[in-house]
Structure formats: structure tokens, C-alpha cells
Structure 1
Amino acid sequence: MKKTIIPFAVLLLTLTSCRQWLDVRPETEVDRHLLFSSQEGFQEALLGVYTRCTDNALYGRELTVGTPEVLIQNYNISANDPLRYMQTRNFQYDNGDFIRRKDGIWRGLYHAIANCNLILEHIDEQERIFAPGYYALIKGETLALRAYLHFDALRLFAPAFAVSPNANAIPYVTSYSNMPTAMSSVSAVLDSAIRDLQAAKALLVDEPIRASSYIAAYPLNANGTPGPELTNHDLFLQNRRHRMNYYAVCGTLARAYLYKQDKLNAYENAMEVMLSNKFPFTASSDFLAVDEDKRDRILYTELVFAWYIPRKNHDLNTNWFRTGTAGMHLLQEAAQTIYETSGAGSTDLRYRQWLSTVGVNNVYISEIHKYRRNPLSNENNANRHYLMAPALRLSELYYIAAECTYESNPELATQYIDAVRRNRGIDQPLSVANAVEFEEELVKEYRKELFAEGQLFYTHKRLNRPFRNLQGVVIAPSNLIFVLPLPDDEIIYGER
């Protein structure tokens, strides 16, 4: 389990030249024709989009552990505000640091979308150059990525469907052009994303992850041989969970349908992932391994889709989650409240493995170690790096299934949540008396499980729920909080 996923990392190193081709500004026809004249060119272009998505402005930091987590009040921040997020936590959306980061998110998402559109603009006319299966795989992934990125832009920069389904939202861009795209409503954006995801699902129906032999696993077997995700002779077909694979599309559809309050379709897509048995819950022996090299804090086998973070991008453990109070952290009391350690959570393995209590200036704090020492790394200082940023994990699909079934079958709904709790060391069954209590407990589980993964903000926004800061103060739901302002340039030059 100690060896890093070298093949994919090495492949990413080939992307320097293609990044020069993939730019929002229109390039020359010679460049485009050169890039898209071979299957390998399309592969490089697609991997280039994934690489761009792991920038710090996007899923390499900001959309995973950054802005959404700060807004939902998941961190304590020291008074000297070393990372300049205090005003963000206080919802000061006119603050310069916030504006810079927020605008960077918008630009990064639409830059990646533009690159998806450039691929899609050329792939149909070049279908004849692809070996069997590759055209469908590349087109399917690209459509899915375009939908995934638009969906996150919607969840950040537009009102929730539950609040204003017909409100102006964001542009859903489907062509590679420097001309502004008209704004779409919240409902229309969701419909467009679902349409892209359904098309992607159909294209990916025969992809490698659906083979009976493909099971999510560590890179090396116990005997040191390559694991099942590394056995394909073609590097491009390995590690499908690092890309928008078939089940990642199903999971994203489940999210999108739930956001649209279509629980039937959300449930069906969530169950398709769950019943595939492709993503086994992480064994407690791996989660609790004494050997730091073998400890799987990120719960790797349960990741349906995750962003591969290159070695150069090691910001989380050297900057964001610095030791002591120099970075994002939790006071011990806040951590114990989140994980309910005075009750059933006293046995919660997430509290034990993701947080480490230390004394700093006569105050006990919980340092956040969730991204420390991923077992997939063989770097000498691996405890200072993290390699995977979760994008969609199995447990979230259980939560979606639970929410979709509570009204018709409350017992089954709580069983879905209990399945996750048991695998986190909590044997006490969940007990709720009504729908209000169920939603309260469900949101608590989202917070425990997806802490520092960027999803809790979207959950509260989707449900239009109030939330509490770490001092217990209730913050009412409001578009003034849940809707990030569009960039000034988008308003001026996009004629919004």
C-alpha cells in the first residue's frame, strides 16, 4: 500500500505542451489541428483539464478545504488571521481577499469548461482516428466534466433551486467562443447539466471500471504486486477513479437530481453506485494502522471520484493545516461537539484519526490531520503531502439514498445512515422521531463524514437550512450568504 500511483503522475508530466494549446483565448487553427489530429492529442487535452482543476484556485485547495468550508464555519481561525480568511468567515463579500479568491474560482471553473468545449468541438469530426472504445470514453468524460464544473458554479454563484428555481443563475457554456453566453435560470442549468451527464452515462456504459475484475483497491496488493486498478496495459485506462468514470457520473447525477428535488432519479443513481459493490468500505485495520505509512486516513477505497494532486501542490499540510493555531484548526471543544464524543460519537474513528489534540498557549486545540500521510505515497516526507482530494465518496451516496427514502420508508433510511456509522466505529443505531429530527441527524453526519471536503455548504444551501458557528450562534439561511457575487468583469463584459 506504500507505492504511489506513479503511472498517472508520470502521464501528467507530459501535459506541459498541451497546456499551451488549451487556453481560453482562441488559438490558431494550426495548433488546434495539431493537438486534435491523434487520439493521444485528445487524451492529453482531457488530462490537461483534470490538471487545471487541481490548481489551488479550484479543487487543489479552494473548493475542497477552502472557501465553502470557511463559510460554513468549519474552522477556528486565530486572531492574527494568518491565511487571511477571517473576513470570509464573517461573510464580508466586499473584502479584497475574498473577492480575489472568489473571482479565481469563477475564472478557473469557466477556463476548464472552455477547454472541455474545445475538445467537444473537434471530437465528433475526428471519431475515425480513435481505437475502439476511446472515442466514447473521452467524449463521455468530457461531457461529464463540463456538467460537474457547471454544477459547482451553480451551487456557488446562484440561488438554490429550493428557493428560486426560475432566478437567473449562471451561463451554461456549450461552445468554444470568446462571445458571452446568455444567463440561464437555475432550473435550466440543472437541466443542461443532467442532459450532459445522461449523455456521458450512455457513452461510458462499456468503460473499464464496469468490468467484473475492476474493484477499488490500493495500488499494491499485500504481496507487492500491482493492484487491480493498475493492471491495464494502457496507462490511460488505469486508475479510473481519478477521472469521471461511469459511477462518478451516476453519483453526480444523484447530486444534481437531489438538488432539483427529484428524489426518485436521485435514489436510482445513488443505488446504482452502491449496488455495484465496486467501492468497499475501508477496513478499520487500514484506517487505524499503527504504521503511518499504511494508515489510510482519506478512506481511499471508498472514493468514487477524486482529484489527483501532483507532488508540487502540497499546500494543505505545509500551509493550510499548519501545526498549532498557525493554520486552520478546531478548538478541542468544537471538535468534540461536531463528533458528539460525549455520546455515541465516543467511538467515532474519524475523530480519532482526523484530529489530534495538542496544547497551545494553555488551550487545547485539534489539529486537522485528515490529509496527512496518504498510503499511496512513497515520498520520504509523505506525511507532509496529500495526494487525493475527494470529489465524491461512497458514504455520500448512502446519505442521498437515506434522504430520498425517509418519507416512504423511515426504517430503511436510518439503516443507510447506520451502515456508514458502523464503518466509522459507531454501533449505536440512529434514533429519530420525525422528519425534522431525521434531517438534523443527516446533516450532522454530512458534517462528520465530509469535513474539509467542501460539501457541507452545498448541503445547507440545498435544504435552505440555518447553521451554527463554532460558538453556537445560529446563522439564518439567506441568499446574502449562500450566493457568491459574480465577478465585476463578468457583470460588465458579460453584460449581466
Structure 2
Amino acid sequence: MKKIILTTILCSSLAFTGCKKWLDVTPEAQATKDEVFSTQKGFRDALTGAYINMKSSNTYGGSMMWGNIEYMARNWDVVSSSNTALTSLASGTYTDATARGWLDNTYADQYKVIADVNSILENIDLKKELFTDNNYALIKGESLALRAFTHFDVLRMFGPMPDDAGTQPILPYVKTVTHQIIEPISYQAFAQEILADLDEAESLMKDTDPFTKYSMAELNPTSSSTANPVVSDDYYMYRQIRMNYYAVLALKARVYLWLAPLDPANVQNAAKYAQMVIDAKDHNGTPTFRLGKESDRVAGDYTMSPEHIAALSVYNLDATATNTFGESGSLQRSDFNVQDGFYYLNNLFPVAERTSDVRWKEMWVYKTTAGSTGYVMYRKFIQRSSSPILQVPLLRLSEMYLILTECAQTKEAAEAVYGTYCAQKGIPFVSGFNATDWQADRRNKMIREYVREFYAEGQTFFTYKRYNVTTLPASWTSVYYTGNTTRYVVAKPDREINYHNN
């Protein structure tokens, strides 16, 4: 609360006696902001605040991870036909007032995170002398990466189709903290702003991020560790749950693939950055990341944390997941044994693959609650091991393999990358892509892999939009999902927002 608000109350109670001196008091919010950016710790705390705001229920703590955006992709059943808000999301109409409010809140909360990092970026160069070691480069680099990451998801949800961007203004790319409305810019200009932020973030963190020097194990001391031998500052630990150097590379791969229709060279750029992440090694020559596999599943690590390139730490994830996906949770799917011709789980995971695919085994289980036994629940975020993985992934190594597969110029190159991925995930892939039309077969397999791999991680809707999927399935008698511009290009809020910190 600002002190000026307190002034109003006091002036009323004092019948305006001596009110002028009270009105001269500096608002507390402004004083606090000045104090925050007077120390290195203050900048660190401000960046932590941005990460915390990313866990809003309107963004990556719900709606943009396993909530609304998954209904928009029809990854969850709308159990009650009377729930018009969810029905509106699942049908892709977005006309229900409640659903419209949810989408508007997502838009607003994304820009709140942007306002957080813009506060840092507006002050950091003026206070460069405050920083020790590599803190200046890391904090500025992470802030730029978060600004790009968040703007990119605004573009993916509220922006035009990637292959029909046009030249008209679409969305604001906000780089200042202001009470003024920021004018929207064109798709091309918006894309260049994202890439400019990522280029600068990459340059800042390339030689300063501890993640480029030490292994994930060395930066993640266990409870039994008596000391952390490689870093003296705990701010440098757990880099995989921050927008680290490799997260910047991975995000660039994702962005360039989205921007492929603008320039064919973007395909090569996407492949280059995906390969850089795959090839990353620590000082011992050990790969920095590895694909999740059967042993991770057996240990109860269902999100495959060794392949997390960036993630959000969620201390209460166990309770949240149980309440959201568990017996009483509302996020569920119909019985996967019903051969109904729909794009349900029985089509995502053919029977022949269920004995080996780590994304299937123990991930989908029947509910036992009376009245709900016809539904299955998803266990990806439910914690089972004695050492819970309390984080939700934002970028994973699996995506880098899929990007590299999609960008491969030859059938043989695509099969080599995809074959490596399949071997770790337990996916049968012995005969390669269909020789008659291998590119079409690759496309179909990539769409299915994105759905299977990133279920409840908010990526299915964006996959369908990028591929401009019109119907699923295209060849079955019953069409489960229909995609079109109305579904894919979500309208911005009717009223614009101010891009400042409250």
C-alpha cells in the first residue's frame, strides 16, 4: 500500500488539519523500489519475484501449464456439459464470459512478469558497480531471457498464425516500466525483439554461467553434502530451475522453429541451437543433460528431471498435483480402453507400444472413486519417490531432439536423431519413416510425440497452431479435434493494460 493512501485516511480523520505535510510524503512503493535496486541482493530478490510471478495460477502455475491451455487442445475431458467456460475453451470459441476472463488474466499476468524484469533492466546498467563476480551478467541475462520467454508465449497464444503473419501491428513488445499504453508492433518486428533479447542474454551468460563449467550434480548439493565444493555463493546453485545459458539456447531453437515461415534459414538456426544443447558437456566431458528413460520412471521421476533445461520450483507441487490430477481432481480423461475412434489415449499410445513407452507406464491409472471409475488420472506431477522433484519444466531436452528431427534435411538424418530419442523413451522405431512419403510420416509422428511427451505442460495447443492442424484424426470416421484460425488466434483483452509494477 502506498503512503499516499494512508494520507487520505488520516486527512479525513483530522478534518484536513495539517494535511499538506502528509501529502509531501513519498509513496512507499517508490521508496521501496529505490531501496531494492540499491544493492546486489535487491536485484537478486527482484529477479526471484519475477520467477514467483511466473507461478501464477493464470500462467505457468496452472492455466499455461496443465490448465486452460490443455482444455484448448482438448487434452482434458469436460466432464460436466453445464460447465460453459470449459466447454468454450474445448470448442475453441472462447465466447463464454468466464473463459474470456481467464484468457484476459493470462495476458495480464504475462505482462506483469515482463514488468518485473523491465524494472531490473531499467536499473541494472545504472548500478553496475554494485555487482560482484558474475552477478551482473547473470541477472541481466536471465532478465532478458525471461522477457523473451514470456513475450514469446504471448505471441504463440495471442499472435497470428506463423505462416500468415502479415504486416499489421499485432502485439506490444514492452521494454519499459510505464503507465502509458505501449503501441503494438508487427509480427516481424516482435520476432526481432525476441531474438535481440535472446542474443544479448546468450552473450552475457556464455562465459559466466556456472552451468557451462560445472555439472548439474555439482551445482545441486544433496542434503547429505557437508559442503558444496565448486561454488561459494548459493545463488549459483540449481541453475536448471533458472533461465540459464542453455535455456537461452533451447528457447532460441523453439523460437526459430516457430519463425520458420518467415525465412527458410530459421530452420537451420533452430537445428543449430537444438544441437548445441544436446552436445553440451560439463568439465568432465559428461553430457549436461540426458533424455529421461525407464530408470527415471521406476524411481518415480515422472517429469524426467535430468532433461530439464529450465524449470520452476514449486514447493507444494505434491499437494497441488494430488488435488489437480488425483482422485478428486477435475483434470481427467475417459477410459482409455474404449475403442471409440477418437484421438484419446488409446490412439496416442497404441497397444503395441504400451509395454515399453516410459510416457505410458504407470502414468495413466484408473480412478477408484464411485462415479469416476470410467475416468483415468494423469500422474506426471504426482510425487512418488522419497526425494520429490518439486519443479515443473519449462524447457526439456526431449524438445531439442524433436526439433532436430523435424529440421533434418534428409530421411537418414531425421531417422538417426529420432531413433536415438525413441531408444531412450521405449518407442518402437525399427523400420524408419515411411519411404513413400517420409516427410508426411515425420510430420504425423512429430505431432503425436509433442502431445505424448508434453501432456499437461502446455505445448500441445502451440504444436497444433504451428502445424496448422485442421482435424484430428484426419482419416477416422469421427473427428475429435477441429483447428482453425478462430481457435488458434486468441483475441487480446478488449481493454489494454498498463505495463508497470503495481
Question: Which residue among 399, 407, 430 is the counterpart of 1:396?
Answer: 399
User: How many pairs were matched up?
Assistant: 452
2:93·2:487 contact (CA, 8 Å) conserved in 1? Answer: no
Residue 192 (structure 2) aligns with: 191
1:253 & 1:169 partners in 2: Cα distance?
A: 21
**1:227-271 CA distance string (max 9 Å, x none):** 98x963312111001110000000000111111101111111111
1:151–1:484: structure 2 CA closer, same or farther, 3 Å change rule? same
1:218·1:227 contact (CA, 8 Å) conserved in 2? Answer: no
**1:318-365 CA distance string (max 9 Å, x none):** 1x213167433343142222112x234442121113211346659643
Residue 77 (structure 1) aligns with: 78
2:308·2:395 contact (CA, 8 Å) conserved in 1? Answer: yes
**1:371 equivalenced with 2:372 (yes/no):** no
1:358 & 1:226 partners in 2: Cα distance?
A: 43
Aligned-pair CA distance for 1:311? 2.2
Question: Which residue among 307, 311, 314 is the counterpart of 1:306?
Answer: 311
**1:12-54 CA distance string (max 9 Å, x none):** xxxxxxxxxxxxxx97543222110000000000010000101
Q: Which amino acid aligns with 2:308?
A: L
Residue 202 (structure 2) aligns with: 201
**1:43-96 CA distance string (max 9 Å, x none):** 000010000101111101111101221111111231366795232112231212
Residue 256 (structure 1) aligns with: 255
- Determine helix, strand or coil for the equivalent of 2:216: coil
1:80-159 counterparts in 2 under 5 A? 85-159=86-160
2:153 & 2:367 partners in 1: Cα distance?
A: 35
**1:432 equivalenced with 2:434 (yes/no):** yes
Residue 225 (structure 2) aligns with: 225
Unmatched 5+ residue regions in structure 2? 1-26, 261-265, 281-286, 338-343
- Return the structure number with greater relative CO, CA threshold 8 A, min gap 6: 1
1:357·1:364 contact (CA, 8 Å) conserved in 2? Answer: yes
**1:379-401 CA distance string (max 9 Å, x none):** xxxxxxx7211100000000111
1:328-339 counterparts in 2 under 5 A? 328-333=332-337, 334-339=344-349
Question: Which residue among 445, 457, 463 is the counterpart of 1:453?
Answer: 457
1:467 & 1:232 partners in 2: Cα distance?
A: 52
Aligned-pair CA distance for 1:304? 0.4
TM-score (norm 1): 0.84
Residue 362 (structure 2) aligns with: 353
Aligned-pair CA distance for 1:288? 1.3
2:411·2:433 contact (CA, 8 Å) conserved in 1? Answer: no
1:216·1:278 contact (CA, 8 Å) conserved in 2? Answer: no
1:355·1:369 contact (CA, 8 Å) conserved in 2? Answer: yes
- Determine helix, strand or coil for the equivalent of 1:111: helix
**Structure 1 runs, 4 residues or longer, greater than 6 Å off:** none
**1:179 equivalenced with 2:183 (yes/no):** no
1:236–1:376: structure 2 CA closer, same or farther, 3 Å change rule? farther
Between the aligned residues of both structures, percent identity stands at 27
Q: Which amino acid aligns with 2:363?
A: W
Question: Which residue among 269, 272, 291 is the counterpart of 2:273?
Answer: 269
Per mean C-alpha deviation after superposition, the further-off stretch among 47-56 and 320-329 is 320-329
**1:245 equivalenced with 2:244 (yes/no):** yes
Aligned-pair CA distance for 1:475? 4.0
Aligned-pair CA distance for 1:485? 1.2
Per mean C-alpha deviation after superposition, the further-off stretch among 357-366 and 472-481 is 357-366
- Determine helix, strand or coil for the equivalent of 2:361: helix
Per mean C-alpha deviation after superposition, the further-off stretch among 484-493 and 155-164 is 484-493
2:417 & 2:93 partners in 1: Cα distance?
A: 38
Per mean C-alpha deviation after superposition, the further-off stretch among 201-210 and 133-142 is 201-210
2:243·2:310 contact (CA, 8 Å) conserved in 1? Answer: yes
**1:436-486 CA distance string (max 9 Å, x none):** 121011111111111111011111111212242899415443220001111
Question: Which residue among 278, 286, 292 is the counterpart of 1:282?
Answer: 292
2:216·2:238 contact (CA, 8 Å) conserved in 1? Answer: no
1:329 & 1:218 partners in 2: Cα distance?
A: 38
2:50·2:116 contact (CA, 8 Å) conserved in 1? Answer: yes
Residue 296 (structure 1) aligns with: 301
1:364 & 1:420 partners in 2: Cα distance?
A: 33
Aligned-pair CA distance for 1:427? 4.0
2:227 & 2:429 partners in 1: Cα distance?
A: 35
1:472–1:351: structure 2 CA closer, same or farther, 3 Å change rule? farther
2:317·2:381 contact (CA, 8 Å) conserved in 1? Answer: no
Q: Which amino acid aligns with 1:485?
A: A
2:313 & 2:498 partners in 1: Cα distance?
A: 35
**1:463 equivalenced with 2:474 (yes/no):** no
1:97 & 1:316 partners in 2: Cα distance?
A: 24
1:389 & 1:58 partners in 2: Cα distance?
A: 12
1:161 & 1:226 partners in 2: Cα distance?
A: 51
1:471 & 1:85 partners in 2: Cα distance?
A: 25
1:29–1:460: structure 2 CA closer, same or farther, 3 Å change rule? same
Unmatched 5+ residue regions in structure 1? 1-25, 290-294, 379-385
Residue 5 (structure 1) aligns with: none
1:89–1:492: structure 2 CA closer, same or farther, 3 Å change rule? same
1:83 & 1:232 partners in 2: Cα distance?
A: 53
Aligned-pair CA distance for 1:411? 1.4
2:158 & 2:125 partners in 1: Cα distance?
A: 32
1:246 & 1:471 partners in 2: Cα distance?
A: 47
- Determine helix, strand or coil for the equivalent of 1:489: coil
- Determine helix, strand or coil for the equivalent of 1:62: coil
Root mean square deviation, CA, Å: 3.0
Q: Which amino acid aligns with 1:431?
A: F
- Determine helix, strand or coil for the equivalent of 1:175: coil
